[in-house]
A and B are shown apart, each in its own frame.
Chain A
Amino acid sequence: MGLSTPASGTNVTAGPRPLADPDGIRAPLPVAVEAGAELRSSSLWRDAIRRLLRNRLAMAGGIVVALLCLIAIFADVLAPRPYTKTNFGRLNEAPTRDYLLGTDQLGRDLLSRMIYGARVSMLVGLGAQIIVVSIGVPIGALSGYLGGRADLFLTRFIDVMYAFPRLLFVILVMSMLGAGLTNIFIAIGLTGWVGIARQTRAQVLAIKEKEFVDAARGLGAGFARLLSRHILPNAMTPIVVAVTFGIPEAIFTEAALSFIGVGINPPTPSWGQMVGEGQQYIRSYWHLCVFPSIAIAVTMLAFTFFGDGVRDALDPKMK
């Protein structure tokens, strides 16, 4: 399940974050509130970026992530052969000069399939997070802001969702929807928003009591403006951290689903599916599962190091 959840989970119970305008000093004038909030918050982000740039491990992770994105975007150009091209004269061949990483059970070029596999992983990692955020943040924010019965219902619902082992639920949903990229988005989106909603809710609950929110309300800011201009910008830090850890988690989920055969539909290559198939022939054809395994491991490590760096940069106390 997400196995990397506990890393992001640290922030759930932590107290209020550094706020853009903690004391509401700038609150009296509506213009000043926004100008001030933006000024201070942009420097908060700039500080964070400076800290991130200084963190060598995180930067190494970031560079690998950037490379992977490039590979995913330019897969068509980079791959030496189409990923479906078979060569039945040369099945399960170990790496040679023709086939740098060897060929698979159908004589397809492993290197090309791995390059296209990066596309699936990156798409799932980033795409799923967009879905998760666009469901989780509004629900969490509304529930925290409105309180009352809607909030109670949501928290109960979240408790039940947490009682489910998450990967188990995703597998269940996938076997209902059938394999395929879109369905992976849906399955991860359906289960993943819960964590972000909980985080957002906790943030909004803490921030809505602050004086600067009162001040803005006193000046006549409406409900939508309060949430979008005053509360949510100050609640961003843990959401950003949750997203950076959510990306590798989604990549892991896709790999795991494809590994057991309910993820990506063949012939589209996915690293998890390649490991799953290759692992059965590990004794005879080690290269079939080792190369995709390395790809998954490197990707996960790069995102984790980068995520750790982002967390430390945004929240120096945690270091």
Chain B
Amino acid sequence: MVQYVVARLLWLIPTILAMALVTFLVMHATPGSPLDPIAEGANPLPPEAQKVLAKHYGLDKPLWHQFGIFVAKAARGDFGFSFVYKTRTVAEILRETFPISLFLGSMALALAVAGGLTLGILAAVYQNRGWDYVSVSLATVGVAVPNFVLAVFLIILFSFVVPLFPTGGWESPRTWVLPTITLAAAPMGIIARFTRASMLEVIRADYTLTARAKGLSETPVIFKHALKNALIPIVTLLGPMFAAVGTGSFFVESIFRVPGMGRFFVQSMTGRDYPMIMAVVLTYGVFLAIMNLAVDLAYGALDPRIRY
């Protein structure tokens, strides 16, 4: 067990290094440079000034050298100054925005898990009847409709037609509602679909028949005997779902004007903000890798047949 965790954690290092290298190479192969950006607020600079700036930011060194410096600094949590927000370090910006994204993501995940399980169980218990169709349709809509499209519909419905929630911002809990629902829709659909399939399989299993045969009523059969076993494969879904929520927040955050990390990603791309791009990609990567590890461990804890 300990050995497994240590091995997995050690594997993180080459994985993240590979990710950093790929991102670094793609980024530097990009035409355009941070000294001559196409982003807002840029002004064309004379070549001498560009040279001085390049030297200041270390962009005049060969690429492998730049990468080495980056890795050495990043290992200490120093990602340097943002090229776009010149007075702030990347670490500062991330410290401010990452918690907001994390908070939004956690709320969305909680909603997705609660809603998805409910829909999935309902669908399986009432297979091929009304509730099944309702929840399968809801789940399919959640999976299929992109979140930025869903956001448009939700804003029209709940901000204009029935003015319940504001169209954006992040000041009060009321502003949290629409972004959370939007971000939760896709993972909720995924969970609902898998819960349904998994429950259907378990409900047909012999031990469920046994539970019924010994005279248990429907509620304990479903919740104590069936659900517990059906949940095991669902846990593996949580890994890819963190990714869905993470990348989903680019769109949700920019539509609902949430001051999180997602918005910076696109801005930093077009602004060729090298330190920011690297930091955002790596933050997502490390976060995902750790979450995947946590999911694998939880899986082992839930299913005693799995040994590491």
Interface residues of A, Cβ cutoff 8 Å to B: 1, 3-7, 9-10, 159-160, 163-168, 171-173, 175-176, 178, 248, 252, 255-256, 259-262, 272, 275-276, 279, 282-283, 286, 289-290, 293, 296-297, 300-301, 303-305, 308, 318
Known A-B contacts A4-B143, A248-B144, A301-B145; A165 and B288 likewise in contact (beta carbons under 8 Å): yes
B26 touches A176 (CB 8 A): yes
**Across-interface contacts of A262 in B (CB, < 8 A):** 266, 269-270
Given contacts A261-B270, A286-B156, A296-B149, 19 further A-B contacts (CB under 8 A): A3-B186, A160-B15, A164-B19, A165-B243, A167-B247, A168-B247, A168-B281, A168-B284, A172-B23, A172-B269, A175-B270, A176-B27, A275-B148, A279-B151, A283-B160, A297-B141, A301-B141, A301-B145, A304-B140
Q: Cβ of B300 < 8 Å from any Cβ of A?
A: no
**Within 8 Å CB of A166, what residues of B?**
243, 247
Residue of A nearest to B30 (CB): A176
Q: Report chain B residues within 8 Å CB of A305.
A: 140
**Residue of B29, B146, B284, B285 with most chain A CB atoms under a 10 A cut-off:** B146
B251 within 8 A of A: yes
A171/B269 contact (C-beta < 8 A), A6-B194, A293-B149, A300-B144 known: yes
Q: Contact check, A300 vs B269: say whether CB atoms are below 8 A apart.
A: no
7 contacts between A and B (CB under 8 A): A4-B144, A6-B194, A6-B237, A163-B289, A165-B284, A275-B149, A293-B153
**Number of B residues whose C-beta is below 8 Å from A?**
51
Interface residues as binary, B152-171 with A (CB distance below 8 Å gives 1, 0 otherwise): 11011000100000010000
Interface string of B276-291 (1 = CB under 8 A from A): 0100010011001100
With A and B bound together, what is the CA distance between A159 and B146 in angstroms?
Answer: 26
B contact patch SS: helix
Q: Could you say which residues of chain B place their CB within 8 Å of the CB of A255? A: 146, 148-149
Is B143 in contact with A304, judged by CB distance below 8 angstroms? yes
| Contact of B190 with A by CB under 8 A | yes
Q: Which residues of B come within 8 Å of A, CB atoms?
A: 15, 18-19, 22-23, 26-27, 29-31, 140-141, 143-146, 148-149, 151-153, 155-156, 160, 167, 186, 190, 193-194, 197, 237, 240, 243-244, 246-248, 250-251, 254-255, 265-266, 269-270, 277, 281, 284-285, 288-289
Q: Considering the complex, give the chain B residue whose CB is closest to the CB of A170.
A: B247
Task: Give the distance in Å from the alpha carbon of A303 to the alpha carbon of B160 in the complex.
Answer: 30
**Are B247 and A165 within 8 A (Cβ)?**
yes
A259 CB, min distance to chain B CBs, angstroms: 5
Cα distance A308–B285 when bound, in Å?
Answer: 31
Q: Are A1 and B144 in contact (CB under 8 A)?
A: no
* Bound-complex Cα distance A297 to B145 (A): 5
Contact B247 A1 (CB under 8 A): yes
When chains A and B are docked, how far (Å) is the Cα of A94 from the Cα of B31?
40
In this complex, the member of B15, B26, B247 whose beta carbon has the largest number of chain A beta carbons within 10 angstroms is B247
Instruction: State how many angstroms separate the Cβ of A189 from the closest Cβ of chain B.
Output: 15
Enumerate chain B residues within 8 angstroms of A1, measured Cβ to Cβ.
243-244, 247
Output the least CB separation between B221 and chain A (Å).
23
Q: Are A301 and B144 in contact (CB under 8 A)?
A: yes
- Give the distance to chain A from B21, nearest Cβ to Cβ, in Å: 10
